[in-house]
Chains A and B, each alone.
Chain A
């Protein structure tokens, strides 16, 4: 933009031809400069991208076997909530890393361990013992006690954890938020 003061003090016009520097040398310097900066940009960019997306670089199976407690805490033919400390955790996670799940013990060592996340949009389903239903508060999804979809918008049955019974305790393989593309 041309300010008024430039107009008041015009730069004197010099009509003598400028001394032209060697164009090939100027071009060469320009190209080298651009190339050097592209290289430097890549050197800076790679670690930046690597840092931001580090969870992909170091991606390993985040799931681990976690004990939900002794078998005695899950009486037969009942469904109860159990919580575990998520194996994928940061020191500053606090209560957020405590993950709930619904444990249904059929008989003996036969279990069903459901993720609380509704298969519709991940809200926490609640167990209603008398009705024998899991109900979701968000959009009204309903599941039977065996996790089968009963009503509402859910596209599939409740997600189930892989479990095992070992040394008198119930173990589940957890650590990941279940979604449709990654069902536990």
Chain B
């Protein structure tokens, strides 16, 4: 076996492998950094590698052409051997990547790892976050279905709101005046060449900074960071309790990596790939576009914001967020690292995550969207039409046929855009109902032109019957006597 050893020595001499190993995998880290909290960075990188590998495989078959993309996705799902599985792994890999990257970012933030001297590690991480979100958006366009088409439409409409250069930005985004042949090619190029290339470059810098500036020691409450003393303290930590990253600190990363891979593969196997949904034919207007979950929160915010805030949230807020993230290590680059002594940091994480989660949930349920088929699909529940007069029944028909149900629910079925009308008679008097129906108001369109006077009479007669048993409808006289707010009636009902 002597020749084998000689070969190894020769290779090492020519390639300087020992030195490379010592300065990378074998570099010393504080023993305290071998913690379960420190596994998310390597796991994010692992996800990225999985995405590159599965994405490359998918590119063997996928056709980035507006005419063929959807068909080639169907081919991948149904005809190509294991095509569905590769698509599923790529899709779930992206979900895991965004989720684990978020965990990594929260951990780094709460452990004060962005502080002196690791400012640029954090800054490069912020750019990696932006690149990953870019991959997520462009990846959703690769699944070229109705959601992708109208998602691009939303993107273009957002760009179109930029003052002065809006029209040019739309042009750049869509590679032309409208979503057409070159739009998909543009997003394909971004998704498979430009953004992954940027990520590889920035990850290289990110990792080099981890090597040169060291990994953050596990913070201890009360041990403050001072620019004048920190470097010496860190050297002292390494001298006292430094261990080589491989093999002494990588164990937990390896175990977590195994779980991540099994998690991605398991989700892919059991839940399968996402879509493609309807064909990207814009003439099918009977569609309900929703973004992937990474962007659901923004989608929801755009439904819930008042008009005057939209431009602020679309253009000013992202800039402020990114600038704040980039400036963070320079604003609070020293001092306390431990989350136990940084209540504001902990609360801001909780606040941001709760906001995103609630908005995601609202985006998923979209109570602001009319239920487009409620008027034809959801019959009025029996209890609302039993023992009614012919006029009231006629009103129920008007209610159904004029598509009121698309926005107003009865018995829990129907749209949630407007208030549920199960107990409307306890809130509005007859004249108020007439006025509301004819003139609209409070985000309800006016129906004066679409309803004849007899139809209005019938409709209001029907709505007058909408009150719980034992709770009488409000009468105009009631209100004059007791000056209680109208909603008091609702309170009585719920009690």
Contact = CB atoms under 8 A, between A and B. Distances in A.
Contacts of B182: 55, 90
Nearest to B400: A130
Given A138-B369, A153-B310, A98 B160 contact: no
A66 interface: no
A140 B446 contact: no
Interface stretch (B32-40, B111-119, B256-264, B278-286): B278-286
Contacts of B417: 140
B168 A56 contact: yes
Contacts of B302: 120-121, 139, 153
A116 B180 contact: no
B453 interface: no
B445 A150 contact: yes
Interface string B221-233: 0000000000000
A126 B281 CA distance: 15
Interface residues of A, number: 60
A83 B19 contact: no
A107 B99 CA distance: 57
Contacts, number: 207
Interface string A74-107: 0000000101001011111111111110000000
A121 B157 contact: yes
Contacts of A86: 178, 180
B438 to A, nearest CB: 13
Interface in B446-463: 446-447, 449-450
Given A91-B181, A120-B157, A151-B440, A99 B369 contact: no
B288 A176 contact: no
B378 interface: no
Interface stretch (A1-9, A23-31, A38-46): A1-9
A128 to B, nearest CB: 5
Interface in B360-404: 368-370, 372, 375, 401-404
A48 B402 CA distance: 57
A131 interface: yes
Contacts of B13: 5
A175 B258 CA distance: 51
Nearest to A154: B307
B443 A152 contact: yes
Secondary structure at chain B's binding surface: helix, strand, loop or mixed? loop
A47 interface: no
B289 A1 contact: no
A161 to B, nearest CB: 13
Nearest to A56: B171
A144 interface: yes
Contacts of A138: 150, 154, 289, 299, 303, 369
Nearest to A131: B403
Interface stretch (B51-59, B64-72, B122-130, B133-141): B64-72
Given A53-B172, A55-B175, A153-B302, A181 B160 contact: yes
A1 B21 CA distance: 12
A173 to B, nearest CB: 13
A32 B491 CA distance: 85
Would you list the 5 A-B pairs with minimal beta carbon distance, nearest first?
A: A179-B160, A90-B181, A94-B67, A181-B166, A122-B157
Interface of A: 1-5, 53, 55-56, 59, 62, 81, 83, 86, 88-100, 116-117, 120-126, 128, 130-133, 135-140, 142, 144, 150-153, 155, 175-177, 179-182
